[in-house]
Amino acid sequence: MQLADLFELSLIGRRDDIALDYEGADGVLATLTFGDIDARRNRLTHLLAHRGLKPGDRLALHLANRVEYIDLLLACVTLGVVLVPINVLYREREIAHIIADAEPIAVVTSDSASASALFPGDVTLWDVDELTHSAATQPKARVRAALDGDAPALIVYTSGTTGRAKGAVLSHNNLLTNGTSLVTCWRITSDDRYLAVLPLFHVHGLANGLVTWLISGCRMRLAERFDVTRAAVLFEEFQPTLFFGVPTMYVRLLELAPDLARRIGARMRLFVCGSAPLPASTLESFRDRFGHVILERYGMSETLMNLSNPYEGERRPGTVGFPLPGISARIVDAELRDVSDGETGELLVRGPNVFRGYWCRPEADAEAFTKDAWFRTGDLAQRAHDGYFTLCGRRSDLIISGGFNIYPREIEELLLEENGVREAVVVGIPDTRRGELPIAYLVTDDALDVAALDASCRRQLASFKVPRAFIRVDAFPRTALGKVQKHLLPAWTPS
Ligand code: MLC
């Protein structure tokens, strides 16, 4: 089966039902039925085929949340074209790498982005409005490419431990498995109303949000992004029953007045959280305010969702529940031997949700998978005697800020290009709102020019990766083997 088949199944009997509420370019609220979505998808599919796109070709998207994201996802999966979402917060350097690596036929973008010279000169840019305009005159008859479920559907770039982002290749089967599992396990039905505030350029918003919406046939309100004041209005106006968010969003929602929180909670069916650890204290405050126990789950770009707290039964604070259907999870020691319940080790997963490998990176694949094809998540975990999994940290030094992943190595390599910087180490410090924030320690020849370092990082990195502080030290504390002991660096607290 392919993703388009599942969408078409969900169209049966509900072509005239409202599928989507969104703000158009003019800021006016608009709606589309499932039949409209199908017609828009078909027209765009004809246009992309007419422009020569074939199965296996890549098409990159550099777009904020807007209705055309949905059209493009559906047209690409229908044609077998591989969608490459790009984080709109990325700067030239990050974008140039993705484009050089994925070699897309074109990048679909909006006027403002193409005007800002974010893209390398030799890349073909397609303006999203022009594309929509041209698609409108295409036939609305359905097209179907013969695709195997193993065909790639998405290449999602995740920052790499090597400093350069790697493209995780996700197949139709990965997306189908993930979507059908979540619909079943979280009891999502066509009666739900899903408030979509997550960015569509990451798997949380795309593979969990969009795909479960399409499969379940529920109604979705698409917001451009999350902002707590705006979210409060959307909760009141749209009256959703379903919400997916990162911990930062739940921390922000706790700022809402208690009576508003209670009103929102009374209409909601399910709040789900993921992409970063949800502090137990946030879960508890949220339960008191909104009257809901947030359902925490665990996934990755490479595997989509692996583990989830139960819909029915105890949603245990601080844990990520059990493996989802068809997924096996093990915890192993450094020699890849299983550890006993209650002991900490690396979490390995296997199942139809797990990607087939990184785009053109056999050496990264060799590190990511064991010889018997278990995916090494790099996360440390424990399994309790009753089967609940708890994450206890990371094998790698990944920082997660506001649900966005940051690999220190990428920032360190950039800082080392600065004049007079001899050594650089980036670490995460706790932050109540964003979970963690990156800060940089530097060994330099001269006094630090913090403003220049900050400006250089802002020019070259997405804003969430820019260190919040640059701290000069004479030397790094190191082990006998020369490894930097990050925990021994002088403490820094925001002033
Ligand atoms: C933030 N910004 C955005 C944006 N989110 N711009 C465009 N689209 C978005 N969706 C920009 C802001 O304009 C600002 O830019 C800067 O980022 C910081 O924004 P902020 O509002 O001050 O930040 P904050 O209040 O902390 O809220 C950020 C947030 C955002 C929670 C809304 O972090 C967010 O949407 N996070 C979701 C990340 C996510 O989807 N992760 C899933 C990865 S998949 P400037 O220029 O003014 O600084 C994965 C697998 C799994 O991990 O298991 O899910």
- Please give the full DSSP string across 111-156, using - where no structure is assigned: HHHHHTT-S-TTS-EEEHHHHHHHHTTS--S-------TTSEEEEE
CA of 247 to the centre of ligand 1 (A): 11
Residue 437, pLDDT > 70, answer yes
**Residue having the nearest C-alpha atom to atom 4 of ligand 1:** 225
CA distance 31 to 9: 21
The atom number, within ligand 1, closest to the CA of 300 reads 50
CA of 199 to the centre of ligand 1 (A): 8
Q: In what order do the strands lie in the sheet with 125-127?
A: 125-127, 106-109, 58-62, 82-85, 152-158, 166-171, 357-358
- The backbone region for 268, taken as left when phi is positive above 0, alpha when psi lies in -120 to 50, beta otherwise, is beta
Please give the pLDDT value at position 79: 97
pLDDT of residue 112 exceeding 80: no
Residue nearest atom 46 of ligand 1, based on CA coordinates: 463
Nearest Cα to Cα of residue 433 among 221, 292, 272, 276 = 276
Ligand 1 centroid–CA 402 distance in Å is 6
Q: Quick one: pLDDT band at residue 115, thresholds 50, 70, 90?
A: low
pLDDT of residue 485: 87
The answer on pLDDT for 159 being more than 80 is: no
Query: 161 pLDDT band (50/70/90 cuts)?
Result: low
Q: Are 172 and 1 in contact (CB under 8 A)?
A: yes
Residue 306 has pLDDT above 80, yes or no: yes
Q: Give 482's pLDDT tier (boundaries 50, 70, 90).
A: confident
- Please tell me the residue having the least CA distance from ligand 1 atom 52: 275
Mean pLDDT of the chain: 94
Counting from 1 in the atom list of ligand 1, the atom nearest the Cα of 88 is: 7
pLDDT tens per residue, range 220-242: 999 999 999 999 999 999 999 99
Q: Which amino acid is at 342?
A: G
Choose the residue to mutate in 61, 272, 404 for probing ligand 1, maximizing ligand atoms within 8 Å of C-beta: 404
pLDDT of 162 over the 80 cut: no
Give, using CA atoms, the residue closest to atom 51 of ligand 1: 275
Closest by CA to 192, choosing from 8, 17, 12, 16, is: 17
Q: What angle do CA 414, 437, 402 make, to 5 degrees?
A: 110
pLDDT of residue 483: 79
pLDDT score for 111: 76
Q: Give the separation between CA 146 and CA 169, rounded to whole angstroms.
A: 19
Across residues 91-97, what is the average pLDDT? 93
Amino acid 160: pLDDT: 62
Whole-number Å distance, alpha carbon 306 to ligand 1 midpoint, is 23
Model confidence band, residue 495 (pLDDT cutoffs 50, 70, 90): confident
pLDDT at 163: 65
Residue whose Cα lies nearest atom 50 of ligand 1: it is: 300
Residues whose CB is less than 8 angstroms from the CB of residue 275 and which lie 6 or more positions away in sequence, other chains included: 202, 204, 246, 247, 299, 400, 403
Atom 11 of ligand 1: nearest residue by CA position: 89
Query: pLDDT band for position 315 (50/70/90)?
Result: very high
Instruction: Say what the pLDDT of residue 396 is.
Output: 75
Q: Identify the residue whose C-alpha is closest to ligand 1 atom 21.
A: 227
Name which of 237-251, 302-316, 443-457, 479-493 the model is least confident about.
Answer: 479-493
Among 161, 168, 222, smallest CA distance to 395 is for 161
Contact present, 321 and 294 (Cβ < 8 Å): no
Which residues partner with 83 through β-bridges?
59, 154
Give the DSSP H or E segment for 196.
Answer: strand 193-196
| H or E, element range at 272 | strand 270-273
Rg (CA), the chain: 23
Q: How many A from CA of 225 to the centre of ligand 1?
A: 8
From the alpha carbon of 208, which atom of ligand 1 is closest? 54
320-364: pLDDT as tens digits: 999 999 999 999 999 999 999 999 999 999 999 999 999 999 999
Residues with a CB atom less than 6 Å from ligand 1 = 64, 88-89, 198-199, 202-205, 225-226, 246, 248-249, 274-275, 299-301, 402-404, 433-434, 463-464
Structure confidence at residue 48 (pLDDT): 98
Closest-lying ligand 1 atom to the alpha carbon of residue 197: 35
Atom 48 in ligand 1: residue holding the nearest Cα: 463
Which residue has the least CA distance to atom 38 on ligand 1?
403
pLDDT tens digits along 44-73: 999 999 999 999 999 999 999 999 999 999
DSSP letters, 51-96, are TT--TT-EEEEE--S-HHHHHHHHHHHHHTPEEEE--TT--HHHHH
User: Ligand 1: which atom is nearest the Cα of residue 203?
Assistant: 44
Residue 297 Cα: closest atom of ligand 1: 53
pLDDT, tens digit, 9 for 90 and up, residues 199-224: 999 999 999 999 999 999 999 999 99
From atom 35 of ligand 1, which residue's Cα is the shortest distance away?
Answer: 198
Cα–ligand 1 centroid distance for 431 (angstroms): 15
Is 297:245 a contact under the CB 8 Å cutoff?
no
Tell me the CA–centroid distance for residue 105 and ligand 1, in Å: 28
User: Considering only 323-337, 411-425, 472-486, which range has the smallest mean pLDDT?
Assistant: 472-486
> How far does the centroid of ligand 1 lie from the alpha carbon of residue 444, in Å?
32
What is the model's pLDDT at position 90?
A: 93
Average pLDDT over residues 306-317: 97
What's residue 494's pLDDT? 78
Q: What is the CA(53)–ligand 1 centre distance, in A?
A: 31
The pLDDT value recorded for residue 435 is 94
Among 226, 399, 407, 466, the mutation site with the greatest number of ligand 1 atoms within 8 A of its Cβ is: 226
Mean pLDDT across 134-156: 95
Average pLDDT estimate for 182-191: 98
For residue 151, report the distance from its CA to the centre of ligand 1, in Å: 30
φ/ψ of residue 57, rounded to 5: -65, 150
Determine phi and psi for 283, rounding to 5 degrees. Answer: -60, -40
Under the banding of pLDDT at 50, 70 and 90, the label for residue 251 is very high
Smallest CA separation from ligand 1 atom 41, residue = 403
pLDDT attached to residue 462: 95
Long-range contacts of the stretch 421-426 (C-beta < 8 A, 24+): 423/476, 425/476, 425/484, 425/486, 425/489, 426/399, 426/467
Are the C-beta atoms of residues 29 and 37 closer than 8 Å to each other? no
Instruction: For residue 52, count other CB atoms closer than 10 A to its CB.
Output: 8
Residue owning the nearest CA to atom 32 of ligand 1: 226
How far apart are the CA of 106 and the centre of ligand 1, in A?
25
Atom 45, ligand 1: which residue's CA is nearest?
Answer: 463
